[in-house]
Amino acid sequence: MRHPSISAFLNTRSGTLAKGPVALVMAEDEVEIDSTLAHLQTCGFRDVILLAPEGVEVTPDHESAVHIVTHDVFAEAALPNAVNDMMQALAGAWVHYCYNAEYLFYPFCETRRIGEMLTFHTEERRSAMLTYVVDLYAGDLGQNGNAVSLTDAWLDKSGYYALARKDPARNWEPKDRQMDCFGGLRWRFEEHVPWTRRKIDRISLFRAKPGLRLLPDFTLTDEEMNTFACPWHHNLTAAVCSFRTAKALRANPGSRHAVPTFRWHNSVPFDWHSQQLMDLGLMEPGQWF
């Protein structure tokens, strides 16, 4: 179903969104929109909302099953602002947001639906979940010039690190249970990435509530919701496996010819399975058995 704007969509659907879980996808281009939507439906999201420029095409199945909302996706902080515009209507629901050609993985997602995992996380008194953006890239850029290939996807098996997040309001003291995480293509090709966009951590799964805001750096205005775990034990984390950085590095004239390949000695084929991400330490099962 298509809607001409976020406000028009909310006028017709706001009463049911709070049942959740809800997935918001922002289409910056037409690359792998259908596979992104299909992945989220397989995960078990109750409502999947595609924010896209006018005229974007999807398969007939998605045309009827997904809410397609016309939106200016090229505005500054377009995705956080869209999430914030919908926050009141989403209050009470678990929300995931991502871009096209990004795929959410959580521990044991092959056999457990997103609702089961979020119910467990809620029972642990958590209202948000840290996700790491894991860069994917095509192994052969000659065959896949935009660096996107679902059948030839690779990722870095190492080169990730985290630093304590500092609080400028408290003389740059470390924030409790918060980390700034780095790695992947944004680390290896950092000369082509603005320093404000090099982090790979996002709070991209959270429970919406009135007054909450998503910030441009993909953290939330509630500081406890930005923590990676509760004080008493480790919690679940998830991963967003993303072609977005690889696409950008190939599309940007300043970096396209400087990157003949993304593969290096620490590249491995992506198995499209949560166990590989857990084995590499890119997400944490916590007490989720």
Read off φ and ψ for residue 132, nearest 5 degrees: -100, 135
- Domain hosting 129: range is 102-289
Domains: count for the chain: 2
- If asked whether residues 114 and 86 sit together in one domain, one would say no
Domain boundary residue among 43, 65, 100? 100
Give the pLDDT confidence of 151-190 residue by residue, as tens digits.
Answer: 999 999 999 999 999 998 889 999 999 999 999 999 999 9
Indicate which CATH number applies to the domain containing 90: 3.40.50
Domain boundary residue among 100, 122, 151? 100
Give the pLDDT confidence of 82-128 residue by residue, as tens digits.
Answer: 999 999 999 999 999 999 999 999 999 999 999 999 999 999 999 99
- If asked whether residues 132 and 260 sit together in one domain, one would say yes
Residue 53 has pLDDT above 80, yes or no: yes
Residue 16 has pLDDT above 90, yes or no: no
- Residue 38 CA, distance from chain mean position: 15
Domain boundary residue among 75, 100, 125? 100
Which of these ranges, 12-26, 129-143, 249-263, has the smallest mean pLDDT?
12-26
- If asked whether residues 129 and 223 sit together in one domain, one would say yes
What is the spatial distance between Cα 110 and Cα 104, in angstroms, rounded to a whole number? 11
What is the spatial distance between Cα 111 and Cα 117, in angstroms, rounded to a whole number? 11
List, in sequence order, the alpha helices (H) in 18-103.
33-43, 60-65, 78-90
Q: What is residue 14's predicted lDDT score, i.e. its pLDDT? A: 65
- If asked whether residues 15 and 106 sit together in one domain, one would say no
Residue 7: in which H helix or E strand, if any? helix 6-17
Whether this model's pTM surpasses 0.85: yes
- If asked whether residues 115 and 218 sit together in one domain, one would say yes
